[in-house]
Chain A
Amino acid sequence: MGESTVEAVYRRFFPVIREKCRSMLRDSDEAQDVAQETFIRLWKSGLDLEDPRRVSAWVYRTATHLSVDRIRRRAIGTEVTGVDADVEGVGTDARIHNRQLLERLASKIPQDELEVAILDRVDGLTQPESAEVLGISERTVRRMLTRLDARLAALKAEVHP
C-alpha cells in the first residue's frame, strides 16, 4: 500500500498527468491548467489509487476530455484554412502533425470523435486501449475513426476543391 497523502499522490501521478496534457496542448500554461484540474479531480474522485490500470485509464479519459473541451472552445469561430495531409502515422513527427491538424479542425469534429482521434492518432493508443480508456467497445472506436477519416476527407475536398 503506497502513501496516500496529497503530496505523495502528487509526486506519483502528476508527472504522468502533465506529460499526457503536454502531448495534447501546445500551450504549456494551458497544459499545466488542465493537468492541475485533472489532478484535483483525481484526488477527489475516491478512486483506488493502488490500481495503476484503473487510475491510468481514468487519467487518460479525464485529461483528454478536459483538453478537447479547451481545444474546441478555442476553435469556435476559427475558419478552417488548411487540411494539408491525412491524420495518420505513428512516429513523433506524425503525432505532432496530427495534433496540430486536429486542433485546426476541432470546431468541425464532434467532441467524442475528437477524443478518440487524440487517443488513437496523438497518443498512439491501440484501439483496444482507446476502448478501455473511454469505456466503449472496440467496434465503436473503429466506427468513430472511420467517421473521422470520412469527415477529414470531406473537409479536405471542401478546402481544396
Chain B
Amino acid sequence: MTLRQAQGQAHPSKLTLDRLALGLADAETQAHAKSCAQCSAHLEKLAVLTGGPDFVHPSRLQLDRLALGSPDAATASHAASCAQCGAHLKAVQVDLPVPQWVRDVGTSRPAAWLRWLRPMVAVGAMALVAFAVVGYRPASGPDITAKGLGTPQVQVWVNHAGKATLWSGAALVPDDAFRFEVRPGPYRHLTILELQGDRLYRVLHSAPVPSDGLSPAWAVDADGAQEDVMLLLSNAPLSDDELRRALAGEGSLWSTRWRFQKELR
C-alpha cells in the first residue's frame, strides 16, 4: 500500500489507533498506520505517553469469564495486581442472598442439549429424508402455521421409545421428546415459546441458531391435550415488546407455530 492510497482511504478512529498503541493488535489498522503519516504520528505520540502495552486491562468480558470459571492465567495474574480489575472481579463474585422472585421462576429448566440425536444426524439421517419445509402438511394433519419474510426451514424430530424420526404429524405421548431443526436463512437468533390458549406460558429457548441448527429437546408431559409451541427467527434476542407483538400476530418477525396433539394413555 502506498502512502497516497492510505491517505485516500478513511482513517481508523482514534479509539482504534489507541487500541493498537495499547497492544490490541489489528492487522488492518496496523497496515494503514504504517503507510499513513498522520496515523503513525498519532501512534508515536501515544507510545511516548503510555510507554507501551503493559498496563492494558483485560476487557470486562474476559474478567467475567474468569469469574465464571473459564481458566485464563494471564487475566488472573493481571487482576491479582490491578485494583480496578480486582474490584470488578470482587463485584461479580459476591455471594448474594437469593430473593423470592428467583424461587418463583420455577425449579425445572428445559433439558440441556440431549445427545441422542447428534450421532444420528452425524451419520447422515439428513440424507435419508427430504427437508420438510414449513407449510408442508402431512396427511395426518399437524397444525402448523408460518408467517414472515424469507425462506427459513424448520422440521421437527421426535424421539419415541428411544427412536428418533421426523415428526409425521401423529399425536405425541408422554415421555416422547421433540426438538426443532432449523435452517435459519438470513436470521441468526432462535426463540421458542410455549403457549397456552394463545398466550405466552414461558420462553423455552432464546439463543443464537447453533451451527447444526438443532434446538434443545423437550419431553412431553401428561398435562393437557396438546403442546402449543411458537418458533421465532430474528437477528438478535427479542425484547418483551417484540415478543408481545409477535404473539399478537403483528410485526414482521419470521415465526411458525406448531401444535402437537397429545395422546394420553
Report yes or no: A45 in contact with B102, Cβ–Cβ below 8 A. no
How many inter-chain contacts with C-beta < 8 Å in the A-B complex? 156
- The 8 Å CB contact of A45, one of B67, B93, B96, B207, is B207
CB neighbours of A41 from chain B (8 A): 203, 206, 237
Q: Which residues of B contact A46 (CB under 8 A)?
A: 109-113, 204-205, 207, 215-216
Stretch at the interface among B9-17, B35-43, B123-131, B142-150: B9-17
Contact A14 B96 (CB under 8 A): yes
Q: Is the CB of B235 within 8 A of A112?
A: yes
B contacts with A, residue count (CB < 8 A): 59
Query: Out of B14, B98, B103, which one reaches A86, CB within 8 Å?
Result: B14
Taking chain A's interface residues, is the majority helix, strand, or loop, or is none over half, making it mixed? helix
Interface check A80, CB cutoff 8 A: no
B67 to chain A, nearest CB (A): 6
Whole-angstrom CA separation of A115 from B237 in the bound complex: 11
Closest chain A residue, CB of each to CB of B106? A6
Bound state CA distance, A14 and B105, in angstroms? 14
In the assembled complex, the Cα of A37 lies from the Cα of B92 at a distance in Å of 18
> How far is it, in angstroms, between the C-alpha of A56 and the C-alpha of B55 when the chains are bound?
24
Name the residue of chain B whose CB is nearest to the CB of A65. Answer: B237
CB distance from B186 to the nearest CB of A (A): 12
Contacts of B205 in A (CB 8 A): 44-46
Q: If A6-B106, A90-B22, A129-B59 touch, does A16 touch B92 (CB 8 Å cutoff)?
A: yes
The residues of B that contact A10 with a CB separation of less than 8 Å are 96, 98, 102
Q: Write 15 A-B pairs (CB below 8 A) sorted by A numbering.
A: A13-B68, A14-B96, A44-B205, A46-B113, A46-B205, A47-B112, A56-B64, A56-B65, A88-B13, A89-B18, A124-B59, A126-B59, A129-B61, A135-B208, A146-B10
Which residues of chain A have a CB within 8 Å of any CB of chain B?
4-7, 10-16, 19-20, 23, 36-37, 39-41, 43-49, 52-53, 55-62, 65-66, 69, 73, 86, 88-90, 92, 111-112, 115, 120-121, 123-127, 129, 133-136, 142, 145-146, 149
Binding site for A on B (CB under 8 A): 10, 13-15, 18-19, 22, 24, 26, 28, 57, 59-62, 64-65, 67-70, 84, 88, 91-96, 98, 101-103, 105-107, 109-113, 188-189, 202-208, 215-216, 235-241
